[in-house]
Amino acid sequence: MGDGGLRNGGRHSRRLPSGWTPARTLLGAFILLALTFYGLAVLFQGHIAGLEGTSLVTPIQLGNPGLAQKQVPEDVRDILKPTSERYIGPIDLDEAVAQRAEEVNRTWLASTDQSWWLEPGYHLSYMEDNPPYPFQRVKRVDGKDTGVLAIIAPFYDQDYYKGELARAFFWRMKASGHIIIIITSYQEFPGIIVNPFDDRHTTPGDRTIHEAVDGYLHCFRNPDSVLPPGVPRILLSESDFHDPNRRDGGGSLVPWGLPKEYDLFYSCQGGDWNDYARNWTLAKASIKRLVAELNVKVVIMGRDLTKPEDNDLSPLISSGHIISHGQNTPWKDFLRYIESSRVLFAPNLHDASPRVLAEALCLDVPILVNRHIVGGWKYVHSETGAFFDSIDNVVPAFRDIINGLQRGDLHPRGWFRSHSGKAQSVYKLQAFLELAVGDQRLKAAQELANARITY
């Protein structure tokens, strides 16, 4: 088909008569137009280059130092320095942020204009094509861009150019006045990634980037061991932005009041990477132990259990102790399986605050969590669940939760609503940015976004 068309086109052009035909007039006009555009482009080139030139020296009016800035960065070089050389406030901003977030709330409640587009709060945008993963935009709650970007994972390192593009993008955005934070939602990032099946690693060279970001939303028990010194930070994770009142076509984090059908819920999408991050080895051993000793019924989400290496589970599947659902369960049904379970199981270790923990708490389901998990440990309290360490104490830990449930001592949803969740977290993120970079830089980043970002 294609060939025929081409050949036909060729014959056709050879048959064109000579002289000033309509086709040639059109071609002439087209060439003239192209030349005009080229001329204009050349004329404006100097103008554009001039603008670029100035913007590299004094990219934006950075204004007053604000709360936390030691000095007004005079030119772009100051902005690119390690944050510890510019920032003089406290490093752990948790308490200051809580106070400031309350003020933000009070001011908003007291304000006479309650139009939705004036509502305070910042949150992480959904995944977009641009800027590409692992960059993600931070937006205002009404959807407006803020000029603040978050890095949520290490750069891809199996492809030299891809990694270098991401690094160059970081410095370019930083130099033009954007605010860039890191959210530690990817295993040990920005620490060393130990998952052997990962294609993203933190290189020693990336430390200069980790030192130059404006702040950290982190998940670590001991942040000093992972994060560079002198950069402001707060214990806040993506999973804290779950809205416990969400109920829409996508899914419900408000419990439906479903009857319990399973004792334990475990989720792992399968494949080497997930099996490692979700500690499938420990999951499998624990599930076998819990079935043997307590005769529990377990729902396993997302993992293909039909491969030969899982043949040892076949008897438990036939006996109905294990119910398995594949990868394509829509989120709204996934949530219903969580709610239909008594306990959510997270043997995960190399994992940064898994979303399922927050989802379970919203749905009033207690959590049984590996004590050595990287992030998400902060959700485990006497009201929300229990820790376990290994196959040796998984049974008593599970039994504690069931006893707690029977006594009515557990209030996972109540705990999540008063300690975490979207309403608080969006104020906290705004407060954190105000304290970490100051009003002036936030405003300047906002102006950049207003001027340059088209959607």
Binding marks (x or -) toward ligand NAG, 221..260, rule CB under 6 A? ----------------------------------------
- Strands of 297-420 (E only): list them: 298-301, 322-325, 341-346, 367-370, 385-388
349 part of the interface to ligand NAG, by CB under 6 A: yes
430 part of the interface to ligand NAG, by CB under 6 A: no
Q: Give the tokens for residue 210.
A: 């980790």
Q: Indicate the pairing of strand 262-267 with strand 233-235.
A: unpaired
* Rg of the chain in Å (alpha carbons): 28
Q: Measured between alpha carbons, how far is 361 from 317 in angstroms, rounded to an integer?
A: 27
Considering only 83, 237, 252, 279, the residue that binds ligand NAG (CB under 6 A) is 279
111 part of the interface to ligand NAG, by CB under 6 A: no
Counting every residue written for the chain, the total comes to: 455
Question: Which phi and psi (to 5°) does residue 307 adopt?
Answer: -75, 155
Q: Which is nearer to ligand NAG, 228 or 385 (CB)?
A: 385
Site size for ligand NAG, by CB under 6 A?
16
Positive or negative torsion for Cα 376, 381, 385, 386: positive
390 part of the interface to ligand NAG, by CB under 6 A: yes
Contact 145, 452 (CB under 8 A): no
Biggest alpha carbon distance in the chain? 98
Q: Which stretch binds ligand NAG (CB under 6 A): 65-73, 286-294, 313-321, 347-355?
A: 347-355
Considering only 186, 241, 265, 427, the residue that binds ligand NAG (CB under 6 A) is 427
Binding marks (x or -) toward ligand NAG, 135..174, rule CB under 6 A? ----------------------------------------
Give the nearest distance from C-beta 181 to ligand NAG in angstroms.
21
**Best CA proximity match to 278, nearest among 379, 381, 370:** 370
Q: Measured between alpha carbons, how far is 16 from 13 in angstroms, rounded to an integer?
A: 5
Q: Which stretch binds ligand NAG (CB under 6 A): 46-54, 235-243, 277-285, 439-447?
A: 277-285
Q: Which stretch binds ligand NAG (CB under 6 A): 124-132, 215-223, 422-430, 443-451?
A: 422-430
418 part of the interface to ligand NAG, by CB under 6 A: no
How buried is residue 412: exposed, middle or buried, by Cβ count under 10 Å (0-12/13-18/19+)? buried
DSSP-derived secondary structure for 4-68? HHHHHHHHHHHTPPSSS-HHHHHHHHHHHHHHHHHHHHHHHHHHHHHHHHHHHHS-S---S-TTT
Considering only 84, 105, 269, 446, the residue that binds ligand NAG (CB under 6 A) is 105
Give the nearest distance from C-beta 436 to ligand NAG in angstroms.
20
Q: Which stretch binds ligand NAG (CB under 6 A): 29-37, 161-169, 315-323, 421-429?
A: 421-429
Q: Measured between alpha carbons, how far is 125 from 120 in angstroms, rounded to an integer?
A: 15
393 part of the interface to ligand NAG, by CB under 6 A: no
Q: Which is nearer to ligand NAG, 350 or 411 (CB)?
A: 350
Q: Give the tokens for residue 305.
A: 């259990």
Considering only 137, 218, 350, 441, the residue that binds ligand NAG (CB under 6 A) is 350
Considering only 87, 262, 276, 345, the residue that binds ligand NAG (CB under 6 A) is 276
Give the nearest distance from C-beta 273 to ligand NAG in angstroms.
11
- Collapsing DSSP states into helix, strand and coil, what is residue 433? helix
DSSP state of 453: -
Contact 153, 159 (CB under 8 A): no
Q: Which is nearer to ligand NAG, 87 or 388 (CB)?
A: 388
Give the nearest distance from C-beta 361 to ligand NAG in angstroms.
17
> Under rule CB under 6 A, which residues in 358-387 are in contact with ligand NAG?
370, 372
Residue 341, beta-bridge partner list: 262
Q: Measured between alpha carbons, how far is 20 from 27 in angstroms, rounded to an integer?
A: 11
Give the nearest distance from C-beta 369 to ligand NAG in angstroms.
11
- Collapsing DSSP states into helix, strand and coil, what is residue 343? strand
Binding marks (x or -) toward ligand NAG, 52..91, rule CB under 6 A? ----------------------------------------
Q: Which is nearer to ligand NAG, 101 or 209 (CB)?
A: 101
**Best CA proximity match to 219, nearest among 124, 350, 83:** 350
Q: Which residues lie near ligand NAG (CB under 6 A)?
A: 105, 109, 276, 279, 281-282, 347, 349-350, 370, 372, 389-390, 423-424, 427
